[in-house]
Amino acid sequence: MGTKANGYVFALLAIVIFSIQDGLSKHLGSNYPPVFVAMIRYWAFAAFAVTLAWRSPAGLRATAVTKRPLLQLLRGVLLPAQIVVVITAFTVVGLAHSQAILAATPIFVALLSMPLLGERVGWRRWSAITAGLVGVLLILKPGGGTFEVDFLLPLAGALMFAIYAITTRLVSRDDSAMTSFFYTGVVGAAAISLVGPFFWATLSGPDWMWMILLCVTGSLSHYFLIRAYDLLDAVAVQPLTYLQLVLASIMGVTIFGETLTANMILGSLLVVAAGIFTVWRERVVARRKAGLPPV
């Protein structure tokens, strides 16, 4: 298989495993405190991050050296908090609706990149951002036409992950991807461990199996995504990630008995189209600044 073909295989594997992980998170989050579920999952993630750093060519000590310690700390605290919000959203709002709103993350990244990164956004990306926000508004108003306060949970999750993505871009100017991954795991595990024990719960026999599977899928999904980004540009990977919305909708309807509304489907189509265009346009602009052809 060619390099790009391998990249697509890794990306698809990551997306399928992320979707399974979301279903497991919803199941466990419905029966146990989301903070507790996220903490156990993060302990496994931290162990995986340390192992990768230790086995990297630079070694653990060199990987742990950062030029942006405060931003790395912020990223490390932000992601576990976002995971807790998302698990709560899965249990309260549902998988399908939550993923539909979370799919708007690239739109929020484009919006925040202006004040936080000083980037200029032209009329094409503004058009995509506007279309994406209209899609979000449609999703936030289900068939009855009334706004539900619970929908603020996945919206907050999308905004938090957008800020996480922006801070990741900032630290990438000085730190390697492996260093950022290391701090994401280690700082995140330390941060959530300060809160998680207060929500400790006793898992039933079968749920231990689901929790172990959640930890395994959490590590595997990140590993395959890293491999995908090693072989493909973000503009190639991003459209594939929207398959997670499709898989979440299928699981939500068939396993958890959720209902899809016309507003949600139409809004999701707008959000996905706007997100794909936004990522593609960012690549075009970046290549133009670098003096490269647009494609």
Task: Express each pLDDT in 27-74 by its tens digit.
Answer: 999 999 999 999 999 999 999 999 999 998 889 999 999 999 999 999
- With 80 as the cut, is the pLDDT of residue 251 above it? yes
* Domains: count for the chain: 1
Is residue 182 included in any domain, yes or no?
Answer: yes
- With 60 as the cut, is the pLDDT of residue 145 above it? no
Q: What is the pLDDT of residue 142?
A: 57
pTM of the model: 0.88
How much is the mean pLDDT over the chain?
Answer: 88
- With 90 as the cut, is the pLDDT of residue 240 above it? no
Contacts of 115 (CB under 8 A, 6+ apart): none
Confidence of residue 210 (pLDDT cuts 50, 70, 90): very high
Domain that holds residue 22: 4-290
Evaluate whether 285 touches 117 at the Cβ level (below 8 Å): no
State how far the alpha carbon of 273 is from the alpha carbons of 131, 143, 280, in Å: 9, 22, 11
Confidence of residue 1 (pLDDT cuts 50, 70, 90): low
Evaluate whether 255 touches 98 at the Cβ level (below 8 Å): no
Residue bearing the bigger pLDDT, 82 or 1: 82
Is residue 29 included in any domain, yes or no?
Answer: yes
Is residue 295 included in any domain, yes or no?
Answer: no
Is residue 89 included in any domain, yes or no?
Answer: yes
**68 secondary structure, DSSP code:** -
Is residue 35 included in any domain, yes or no?
Answer: yes
- With 90 as the cut, is the pLDDT of residue 289 above it? no
Q: What is the pLDDT of residue 288?
A: 74
d(CA 43, CA 211): 12
Q: What is the pLDDT of residue 143?
A: 55
Structure tokens at 24: 């497991």
Is residue 109 included in any domain, yes or no?
Answer: yes
Is residue 223 included in any domain, yes or no?
Answer: yes
**242 secondary structure, DSSP code:** T
Contacts of 95 (CB under 8 A, 6+ apart): 22, 23, 26, 248, 249, 251, 252, 256, 258
Task: Express each pLDDT in 174-206 by its tens digit.
Answer: 998 899 999 999 999 999 999 999 999 999 888
Mean pLDDT calculated for residue range 217-227: 86
Mean pLDDT calculated for residue range 137-163: 82
Is residue 189 included in any domain, yes or no?
Answer: yes
Evaluate whether 270 touches 100 at the Cβ level (below 8 Å): no
